[in-house]
Amino acid sequence: MKFLEELGLKAVNPGVSTGTKWMQGNAGSITSWSPVDGRQIGQVGIAGEQDYAQVIEVATKAFEQWRTVPAPRRGEIVRQIGEALRARKQALGSLVSYEMGKSLQEGLGEVQEMIDICDFAVGLSRQLYGLSMHSERPSHRMYEQWHPLGIVGIISAFNFPVAVWSWNAMLAMVCGDVCVWKPSEKTPLSAIACQHIIAEVLERNNVPEGVLCVINGGRETGEMLASDQRVPLVSATGSTRMGKAVATTVAARLGRCLLELGGNNAIIISRDADLDMALIGSLFGAVGTAGQRCTTTRRLIIHESVYDSFKEKLTKAYGQLRIGNPLDETNHVGPLIDKDAVNAYLKAIDACKKEGGNFVVEGGVVSGEGFESGCYVKPCIAEARADFEIVQTETFAPILYLMKYNTLEEAIAMQNNVPQGLSSAIMTMNLREAELFLSAAGSDCGIANVNIGTSGAEIGGAFGGEKETGGGRESGSDAWKNYMRRQTNTINYGTQLPLAQGIKFDL
């Protein structure tokens, strides 16, 4: 395929890089299979312990130099990375779509997120502000400043194989950190392609080798990052199970974690909702990326007075969905990432039926010409109860649960009564309902929206959630502070040395 050649990808690719230099990886290889057609795209080398040690050594030396580069100069490098991504947007977006299975529009949108975070980080490079405070002691001044941490380990997931890395790496770069990226073993070629793109910028600007590194591998590679005392911050995106393991390991060495884990997101549809608007938000939220977003809408909590009419609208809309090759822009829903995901989808459907769920739109695996990979499934809808065990569980697939409510307080309680706390939304034209939903007595999620769905966050706001979602915040707002350490400074410019709190210590 032309986009593979444009991105410098081959049948066999080295899997370890310190920026512009590549190592094959001495622990075997990963094969990347496309869920679109089941074909092998290419192979990528896996980092062994020796490769990992070499990368960390190079990154450690790079940090000593990179932290001294003025932040606006670091921002200029990031600006050029954004320009390089603009030039390769079509090719990289096509690869993301083909390797991961999301629609081409979503693949291109993911690359656009990378471009947007580069633009954000460029401005941020001149705004790494600290505060100044008045001292209680005469002739003293107090202020705080922010310094880079060092090596930032980034563990990313398959569903956003490039964007989430950029959320971390571009901010970390302007903060003066260096990054070591462990991409998902399910989408390694997307990471290799990104490294090829950025390598041109790094080389042109004489950026120290080791500022942006990639180490492909599986669980063992992630465990090396998590347990390494030389990596002060590990940013991990993935399942709650994975996040708990990473958090435990990093906490044991008193390191820092930034966790973006599971979501079980709900939209409350009020009797005062614009139902046409609610339909659009619910439909994309539930079936976008074939239900494989952490912000995917998995539950609809619908007021009993509009329940039947909205269910009818939604069922009709599901009947118009086109499932197929995501590179064909006329299709709405692509494949799941692999057959393990298909099996998890089928098990969730069976579990829902056993608990008493009623499927108003049946699910199942799609077969026939064009679906030979075995990874295509039907988006489905089930009427369920909030206390079903399967409803409490995140299933990374297009399964949507419907339930009724009577009062808004009841709906909010239903929404909050799950272990996860990432994204949430209410559809209402009632100002009082909207404000209650956004209040301290409302949604307990890190993201709470009014009259838009749960999916599709912008990079200007901090992204992340509470409870089993991990509590991390990435991307916009002041998320940059995760990648730096705060230092409080006091300067005495007088001729005396008074002590704080009026303490006397006369000699």
Question: Which residues have a catalytic role annotated?
Answer: 260
Specify the residue for token string 């339930």: 403
Query: What phi-psi label fits residue 477: left (phi over 0), alpha (psi between -120 and 50 degrees) or beta?
Result: left
d(CA 186, CA 93): 16
Residue 75: closest CA among 234, 210, 201, 181: 201
Spatial separation of the C-alpha atoms in residues 158 and 177, rounded to whole Å: 24
Q: Which helix (H) or strand (E) holds 265?
A: strand 265-269
- CA atoms 380, 382, 386, 392: torsion sign: negative
> Cβ neighbours of residue 308 under 8 Å, at least 6 residues apart?
none
- In angstroms, the CA 57 to CA 346 distance is 45
Could you write out the DSSP letters of every residue in 12-78?
Answer: EE--EESSS-EE--SS-EEEEE-TTT--EEEEEE---HHHHHHHHHHHHHHHHHHTTS-HHHHHHHH
Q: What is the dihedral of CA 462, 467, 470, 476, to 10 degrees?
A: 0
State the Cα–Cα distance between residues 441 and 235, nearest whole angstrom. Answer: 30
